[in-house]
Amino acid sequence: VTPQAQPGNPRPRLFRLPADEALINRMGFNNHGAQALATRLGELRQRPIPLGISIGKAKVTPPEQAVSDYVAALHLLFDHADYIAINVSSPNTPGLRTLHDRPQLDSLLTALQHENHLLATSRGRKPRPRHTAAKVIKQQDPPAKPYRDEPIPDHHRKARKKKNERP
Q: How confident is the model at residue 142, as a pLDDT?
A: 41
Q: How confident is the model at residue 125, as a pLDDT?
A: 84
Q: Which residues contact 25 (CB under 8 A, 6 or more apart)?
A: 13, 14
CA distance 37 to 39: 5
Strands 14-17 and 22-25: antiparallel
CA distance 93 to 99: 11
Q: What is the pTM of this model?
A: 0.78
Q: Which residues contact 28 (CB under 8 A, 6 or more apart)?
A: 6, 7, 8, 9, 13, 59, 90, 92
String of b and e for 77-94 (b: at least 16 CB within 10 Å)?
A: bbebbebbebbbbbeebe
Q: Is the preceding omega at residue 12 within 30 degrees of 0, hence cis? A: yes
Q: How confident is the model at residue 26, as a pLDDT?
A: 85
- Classify 33 in phi/psi space as left (phi over 0), alpha (psi -120 to 50) or beta: left
Q: Is 107 a catalytic residue?
A: no
Q: How confident is the model at residue 73, as a pLDDT?
A: 97
Residue 133 CB-half CA count within 13 A: 13
Q: How confident is the model at residue 40, as a pLDDT?
A: 96
Active-site residue (options: 54, 68, 89, 90): 90
Helical axes 66-77 vs 102-122, angle rounded to 10° = 30
**Digits of tens for pLDDT over the chain (167 positions)?**
999 999 988 999 999 999 888 888 888 889 999 999 999 999 998 888 889 999 999 999 998 999 999 999 999 999 999 888 888 877 777 778 788 788 888 899 889 988 988 998 998 887 766 555 545 544 434 434 433 445 555 555 666 666 665 55
Question: Using an 8 Å Cβ cutoff, are 59 and 92 in contact?
Answer: yes
